[in-house]
Amino acid sequence: MNQSDFLNSVLPFKNKVFRLAKRLLVSSEEAEDATQELYFKLWKNKEKLSEYKNVEAFAMTMTKNYCYDRLKSKQASNLTLVHSNYKENDTALEKKLEYQDSVSQVHRLIEKLPEQQKLVIQLRDIEQYDYEEIGKMLDLKPTAVRVALSRARKTIREELIKQHNYGII
């Protein structure tokens, strides 16, 4: 596999890899490092890529595993929470602040979810993978993916309703 074939097969999902890494590692810098490390590993093993049916799913699984290893390492103790992904330009300041607050609340609620639910909601609702692909990435049956996603959404919905009804933050 030459360089151009490699780039054509792995570059289309670079942003998805980064977003998954950012969801798990939280820090943009750490996510960039994870993305770079993943692409380096893929390049080193470029001859074996043709053996995989879905290179994107393989890369996402590698990203998940790398991020878990990274979080377990001692260097992970200095990761900080920074979310600046969501910005809108054409809204009034009050609405903008309201949206930012809602997005922040959802991010905090997602972070409180169990790891499996956190990954499933990231891969399904943000990355738009289908249930079978998520199942392959996380080594789960599609039914288990649906159940985890349903539980994650229900937990987030209930917490948001509770916060809006009682003003608890």
43, 122: one domain? no
Q: How many separate domains does the chain show?
A: 2
**Predicted local distance difference test score (pLDDT) of residue 81:** 46
111 and 61 in a common domain: no
Q: What is the per-residue pLDDT for 2?
A: 78
- Which among 24, 58, 82 is the end of a domain? 82
pTM of whole model > 0.75? no
* Contacts for 27-33: CB closer than 8 Å, 24+ residues apart: 27/79, 27/80, 27/82, 28/82, 28/84, 30/70, 30/79
**Residue 37 belongs to domain spanning:** 1-82
Residue after which a domain boundary falls, among 51, 82, 113: 82
How does pLDDT run along the chain (169 residues), one tens digit per residue?
A: 678 888 888 888 889 999 998 888 888 888 899 999 998 998 888 888 888 888 888 889 999 988 888 888 755 455 544 445 545 455 577 777 777 888 888 888 999 999 999 999 989 988 889 999 999 999 999 999 999 999 999 999 998 888 777 755 5
| 2 and 78 part of one domain | yes
64 and 35 inside one domain: yes
